[in-house]
């Protein structure tokens, strides 16, 4: 009965979605030609590339125009991670071993993880440093780095990341984010205003404060997600 | 055009099948892997619909991190859906192992 109800619910939701989207042809914009309209979306699309010299408009909206919202998102992620840690984290007693992963994984996974782990870290760093030029950004790069640490956790049973290091990285990244915003206040503009020069399009150092903020967000997200994984893997039901 | 329609229909069928499988499957480990398959196909969709930012997020978080977090949780609790007793003491599981 419950399963039939769930399936019925899925069918109804799918039918409503299909009915909505069937009126739009494939690949066509719902709003018509948005660049001709006088909406805020049209303003972003028409002015971002010239005024900010940022090739990735999504990044410009997320960090430059809606920077305060991004600060809120990062705070939500921080609160979720620290809530999880406050419930599950406990210090290991002397002579105590991990319960979760009892035996070493296969030789294949160990060698592969050792080989590919630096490449994953470099890819994550590339994604958040080039956030204003190519697709991606702080959240994506941080998640990629955390998945690299996940690979190491799965391959080696003795692999640990110190919680102190994670806390310091996360705190310094958060302070950097907020201090970039306060820097805008000090120099006479608003909070998180883009006060630096924007440079030329497609340069690595361009777009004002966008690369700075995305580097901070990348470190912060990577530290938080790695901390979540570390806490979960070392959690043990108490006897 | 015909190729597009066939390709998208195939992806949609995979998503639907994986979703229904995740709902009806009693073995929670298989259900979690099925949700990972949903995320995989969804990230392909995002990439084709010209949203590579969202596709990257979905690939890293939806496929890798969320799936593994669920797997860890299943290892700490119980694997089958109908095995969970009501009002189970958390320490009884350790004794039976």
What pLDDT digit, counting tens, does each position of A28-61 carry?
A: 666 667 777 778 888 888 888 888 888 888 898 9
- Compute the distance between CA of residue A213 and CA of residue A224 in angstroms, rounded to an integer: 16
B89 touches chain A (CB under 8 A): no
What pLDDT digit, counting tens, does each position of B9-49 carry?
A: 999 999 999 999 999 998 999 999 999 999 999 999 999 88
Among B53, B65, B94, whose Cβ lies nearest the Cβ of A58? B53
Where exactly are the structural domains of chain B? 2-83
B56 touches chain A (CB under 8 A): yes
In eight-state DSSP terms, residue B27 is: B
- Compute the distance between CA of residue B59 and CA of residue A132 in angstroms, rounded to an integer: 20
Which structural domain, as residue segments, surrounds residue A62?
56-233
β-partners of residue B20 are none
Angle between helix A210-233 and B66-76 (nearest 10): 20
- With respect to residue A5, please indicate whether it lies within any of the assigned structural domains: no
Of the candidate ranges A192-201, A207-216, B63-72, the one whose mean pLDDT is the lowest = A192-201
A139 contact residues in B (CB cutoff 8 A) = 57
B53 touches chain A (CB under 8 A): yes
In eight-state DSSP terms, residue B80 is: B
Which residue from B minimizes the CA distance to A238? B91
Inspect the interface and report whether the beta carbons of B20 and A127 lie closer than 8 Å.
Answer: no
Indicate whether this complex's ipTM tops 0.95. Answer: no
pLDDT for A129 beyond 50: yes
B52 contact residues in A (CB cutoff 8 A) = 135-136
Interface A-B, measured as beta-carbon pairs within 8 A, has a size of 65
Q: Once rounded to an integer, what is the mean pLDDT over residues A132-139?
A: 89
Inspect the interface and report whether the beta carbons of B56 and A235 lie closer than 8 Å.
Answer: no
- With respect to residue A47, please indicate whether it lies within any of the assigned structural domains: no
Q: Which pLDDT value is given to residue A33? A: 72
Query: To the nearest whole number, what is the mean pLDDT of chain A?
Result: 86
Q: Which pLDDT value is given to residue A239? A: 43
| Å between A183 CA and nearest CA of chain B | 28
- Distance (Å) of CA A108 to CA A15, A153, B78: 46, 15, 29
Entry pTM: 0.82
Q: Once rounded to an integer, what is the mean pLDDT over residues A99-111?
A: 76
Number of domains in chain A: 1
What pLDDT digit, counting tens, does each position of A13-32 carry?
A: 999 999 988 887 766 666 66
pLDDT for A143 beyond 80: yes
Q: Which of A92-96, A173-177, B77-81 has the highest mean pLDDT?
A: A173-177
Which residue from A minimizes the CA distance to B62? A143
- From start to end of A154-237, where are the E strands? none
């Amino acid at each position: 009965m419950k399963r039939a109800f769930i399936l019925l619910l899925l069918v109804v939701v799918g039918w409503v979605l299909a009915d909505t989207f069937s009126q739009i042809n494939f690949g066509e914009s719902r709003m018509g030609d948005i660049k001709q309209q006088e909406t805020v979306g049209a303003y972003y699309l028409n002015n971002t590339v010239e005024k900010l010299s940022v090739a990735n408009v999504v990044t410009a909206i997320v960090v430059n125009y809606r920077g305060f919202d991004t600060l809120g998102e990062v705070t939500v992620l921080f609160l979720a991670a620290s809530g999880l840690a406050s419930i599950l984290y406990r210090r290991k007693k002397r002579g105590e071993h991990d319960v979760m992963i009892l035996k070493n994984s296969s030789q294949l996974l160990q060698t592969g993880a050792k080989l590919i782990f630096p490449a994953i870290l470099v890819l994550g760093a590339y994604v958040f440093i080039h956030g204003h030029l190519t697709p991606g950004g702080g959240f994506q790069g941080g998640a990629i780095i955390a998945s690299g640490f996940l690979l190491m956790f799965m391959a080696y049973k003795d692999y640990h990341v110190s919680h102190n290091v994670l806390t310091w990285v996360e705190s310094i990244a958060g302070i950097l984010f907020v201090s970039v915003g306060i820097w805008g206040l000090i120099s006479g503009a608003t909070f998180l205003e883009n006060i630096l020069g924007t440079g030329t399009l497609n340069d690595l150092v361009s777009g004002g404060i966008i690369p700075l903020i995305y580097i901070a967000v990348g470190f912060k997200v990577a530290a938080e997600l790695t901390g979540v994984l570390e806490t979960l893997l070392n959690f043990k039901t108490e006897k | 055009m015909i190729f597009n329609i066939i390709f998208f229909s195939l992806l949609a069928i995979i998503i639907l099948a994986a979703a229904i499988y995740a709902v009806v499957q009693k073995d929670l480990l298989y259900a979690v892997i099925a949700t990972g398959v949903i995320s995989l196909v969804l990230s392909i969709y995002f990439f084709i619909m010209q949203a590579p930012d969202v596709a990257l997020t979905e690939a890293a978080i939806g496929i890798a991190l969320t799936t593994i977090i669920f797997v860890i949780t299943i290892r700490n609790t119980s694997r089958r859906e109908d095995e969970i007793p009501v009002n189970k003491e958390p320490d009884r599981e350790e004794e039976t192992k």
